[in-house]
């Protein structure tokens, strides 16, 4: 199983009135983690979009354990929890500077044609991605 890691400095604009990271910003960090994982596998999501393929979110599950604050660095770990050739379930853990678990999450995605939103079979249209995902998944 491949686990990709990305460090993100918490910016002031990402915090709320209580001085902690606003909950929706973790979703953005998860996207950064997915992009890094795809790059670590040797691919580029933007290139797939140029082919008219997009990957919308079907479901997100997130559990907040410990807050992060401005000036801290978040460490986002991302991996492929499940993959069936059509749908991908990514797993995430976000840690504080001190290595404490701040967030656990999953997001489920499917690749579709941008024009019609009809699902594609990744293993047929992108066999290299399919092989890499099969090899890297949990």
Could you say which of 16, 51, 84, 128 is catalytic? 16
Contacts of 65 (CB under 8 A, 6+ apart): 100, 101, 102, 103, 104
Q: Tell me, yes or no, if 16 is annotated catalytic.
A: yes
Percentages (nearest 5) of helix, strand, coil residues in the chain: 30, 40, 35
Rounded Cα distance between 86 and 120, Å, is 7
The DSSP code for 1 is -
Q: Identify the H or E element spanning 48.
A: helix 45-50
Token pair 């293993």 is at which residue? 123
Rounded Cα distance between 72 and 54, Å, is 33
Residues designated as active site: 16
């Amino acid at each position: 199983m491949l686990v990709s890691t990305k460090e993100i400095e918490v910016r002031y604009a990402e915090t709320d009135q209580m001085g902690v990271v606003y909950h929706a910003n973790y979703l953005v960090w998860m996207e950064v983690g997915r992009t890094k994982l795809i790059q670590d596998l040797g691919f580029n999501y933007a290139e797939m979009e140029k082919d008219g393929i997009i990957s919308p979110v079907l479901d997100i599950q997130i559990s907040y354990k410990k807050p992060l604050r401005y000036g801290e660095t978040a460490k986002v770990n991302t991996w492929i929890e499940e993959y069936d050739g059509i749908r991908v379930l990514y797993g995430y853990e976000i840690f504080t500077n001190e290595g404490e678990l701040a967030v656990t999450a999953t997001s489920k995605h499917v690749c579709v044609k941008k024009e019609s939103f009809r699902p594609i079979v990744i293993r047929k249209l992108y066999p290299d991605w399919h092989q890499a995902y099969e090899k890297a998944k949990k």
